[in-house]
Structure 1
Amino acid sequence: MIPVSPVPALHGLALIEATIRSFVTYLCVGLYVILVGPPGLLFALVTGRVGPLYALARGGVAMGLKLAGIRYRVAGREHLPRARTAVYCANHESNVDAPLLFLVLHRGLRLLFKREFARVPILGRACTIAGFIPVERGNPRQSQAAVDQAAQALARGESFLVFPEGTRSWTGQMLPFKKGPFIMAIKAQVPVVPVAIHGGRAAMARGSAIIRPVLVDVRVGEPVETTGLTHADRDRLVAAVRERIAALRSET
C-alpha cells in the first residue's frame, strides 16, 4: 500500500495557534481578492491580457501559503516541459493542492474546476476569464463538452492542471482515475506530466477548515508521451500515468 501523509493531531496551544493562523489566512486572502480582484478583472476585460491576472493570483497564493505556515519543496523540476504544452496530472489530497501546484508548476497553467465554484464572487469570474474550464460532475454530456473545449485549448498551446480522481481523497489513498483528462491529452497529442503531492492531507485534511503548518512535497515525474496514441489507447495511458504517480508518492 502506498504511504499516505498522516494528519497531525492538534491539542491545546497548538490547536489554538493553528485556528488563529487559519482565520488570519482566510481573512487576508479574502481581503486581497476583494482589493485586487476587480481591478485585475477589469484590466483583463479591457485589454484581453490575462498575464497580470495570473501574476495577481500567484501573489495571493504565495501570501496565503506563507501566512498558513505551509512550506514546500519540489523534486523533479527538470521534468517540467517548459517549452511544451502539457497536461499535468496530480493526485488530490486537499484544498491546498490546486493553489500550490498552480504556483510551482507553470506560470500560465489553466485548470479544470468544479462548475459550482464559478458562482463564487470575483474568483469564479476570474477563473472564467483566465481560461479555466468548469466541469459539472454527474453530467456526462457537459463533462464531454469540457474535455473537447480543453483539447482545443491544449491545441492552442495552453497547458492544464487536472486531478484525475475528480475529488479529494478522504483517506489519502488514490481514488480511481477518470478518463477525461487523458482523452483530452490524446486528442491534442500533448504529453501528460505525472505529479505527486505528499503532505497535502497533513496540511488540510478533507472535512477540516484548519490549515496546519507543515512541509508539503511536490514530486514531478517524466512526461508520458501521447504522440501516435488514439482513443483506443486511453485505458493504457491512464494506467501508465497512475503507476508513475504511485511510484512518485512511494519515494522517500
Structure 2
Amino acid sequence: MLYWLIKHVLLGPVLRIFFRPEIEGKENIPAEGGVLLASNHLAVSDSFFLPLMVPRRVTFPAKIEYFTEPGIKGRLKKAFFTGVGQIPIDRSGASAAQAALDTGVRLLREGNLMGIYPEGTRSPDGRLYRGKTGIARIALQAGVPVVPIAMFGTDKANPIGSKMWRPTKIRIKVGEPLDFSRYSGLDGDRFIERSITDEIMYALMELSGQEYVDMYAAKAKEQAQPLPDRLPESRAS
C-alpha cells in the first residue's frame, strides 16, 4: 500500500512533472516471474526513476545505513526507503556479502522483480565500469533472465554531492532479456561467472553508449582521491 501511495500519489506525480521521464522497451520486462534488472548506475536517483517507470514493483538492495539512523528523521527515512521497495543490505565483510546474495536469490525465486547495479557503486565520471560477478551468481542460482537497463540524465538531475535535484529530462532504455540457462548448475565457477558478467556489461555498453573502463568503479574512486600531504623527511642525526 505504501509503495503504491509513494509511486502514484506522493512522489511519482512530482517526478513526472519536473523530470518528464520516459521509458523505451518496457515490453522487454517479463510480466511475471523472477527477473533481474541490471542497470548502469549514474546517480542515487536511478533507484527512484526506474521503479517509477516500470509497471511491476521493483525491489532494490540498499545499504543498511538508510534504515538504521536514530530519531524521528531515521524512522521517516526507513519508512520511505521501505515504501519505495528497497531492502537493507549489510555490505561490510564477506559474510555480509553472502547474505546479500542469498537475499537476492530468495526474492527472485519468490517471483519478484529485482534491480541491481553490476558496477557495485555509482560511476564517478559517467563512464561504464567493470561489473562484479555477484550478479552472475544470483542469476544462475535463481535461474532467472537478466534484463539490461540504461539510465540517461539522472547524473545531471542528481549530480554526485548535490543536495537538490535539478529538473532534467530523464530517459530509460530497456534491452532484450539475456538468458543464461545454458550455464545452469555452473554457479561457483569463476570463469563462467566472469563470462556472464562481461556479457551483461557489454549489453549495457551497447544500450547506454557509455565508454567502457576495464576497472572497478570503487577502484577508480579510490585512485581519484587526493593523496595526503607528504610528511617532511626526517634529517639524519
What TM-score do the two structures reach when normalised by structure 2? 0.76
Whether 1:97 and 2:46 are equivalent positions in the alignment is yes
Residue number in structure 1 paired with 2:196: 237
Aligned residue type for 1:78: E
Indicate the SS of the match to 1:54: helix
SS for the counterpart of 2:206 is helix
The DSSP-based 3-state class of the residue aligned with 1:206 is coil
> For 2:40 and 2:133, how far apart are their aligned partners in 1?
14
Task: Decide which of 53, 57, 62 is 2:12's aligned counterpart.
Answer: 62
* Contact kept? 1:133, 1:150, Cα under 8 Å: no
Cα distance in 2 between the residues matched to 1:103 and 1:207: 23
Residue 163 of structure 2 aligns to a residue whose secondary structure is coil
Structure 1 unaligned residues grouped into runs of 5+: 1-51
How many Å separate the matches in 2 of 1:127 and 1:228? 36
Which residue of the partner structure matches residue 60 of structure 2? 111
How far did residue 241 of structure 1 move? 0.8
In 1, the alpha carbon distance for the partners of 2:84 and 2:156 equals: 30
Counterpart for residue 153 of structure 2: 199
Matched with 1:133 is: 87
Structure 1: how far apart are the matches of 2:141 and 2:11? 31
Structure number with greater Rg is 2
Q: Partners of 1:64 and 1:147 in 2: how far apart? A: 33
Equivalents in 2 of 1:212, 1:125: separation in Å? 25
Q: Separation in 2 of the partners of 1:58 and 1:75?
A: 19
2:164: which partner in 1?
210
- How many residue pairs get aligned? The number is 199
> 1:213 is paired with a residue of what secondary structure?
coil
Q: In structure 2, do the counterparts of structure 1 residues 152 and 174 end up closer, same or farther at CA, with 3 Å as the change threshold?
A: same
Contact 1:189-1:228 at 8 Å conserved across structures: no
Q: In structure 2, what is the equivalent of residue 223 of structure 1?
A: 177
For 1:54 and 1:71, how far apart are their aligned partners in 2? 21
> Which amino acid is 1:242 matched to?
M
2:97 is matched with which residue? 143
Return 124-133 or 231-240, whichever deviates more: 124-133
Give the alignment's Cα RMSD to 1 decimal.
Answer: 2.1
Q: Which has the higher helix share?
A: 1
Kindly indicate whether the alpha-carbon contact (under 8 Å) linking 2:24 and 2:173 is maintained by their aligned counterparts in 1. Answer: yes
TM-score between the two structures when normalised by the length of structure 1: 0.72
2:165, 2:107 → 1: CA distance? 34
Local SS of the residue matching 2:147: strand
Alpha-carbon offset, residue 224 of structure 1: 0.7
The answer (yes or no) to whether the contact 2:64–2:89 under 8 Å persists in 1 is yes
Query: Is 2:108 aligned against 1:154?
Result: yes
Quote the residue 2:136 is aligned against.
Answer: 182
Relative distance call for 1:213 and 1:130 in structure 2 (3 A) is closer
User: Is 2:120 the partner of 1:166?
Assistant: yes
Which deviations, in whole Å up to 9, do the C-alpha atoms of 1:61-81 show, x marking residues without a partner?
3134146x1111111122111
Query: In structure 2, what is the Cα distance between the partners aligned to 1:111 and 1:137?
Result: 14
User: Which string of whole-angstrom CA distances, capped at 9 and with x for unpartnered residues, describes residues 4-62 of structure 1?
Assistant: xxxxxxxxxxxxxxxxxxxxxxxxxxxxxxxxxxxxxxxxxxxxxxxx12201213331
Partner of 1:46: none
- For residues 143-170 of structure 1, the C-alpha deviation after alignment (integer angstroms, 9 at most, x for no partner) is 1111112201211111201112222122
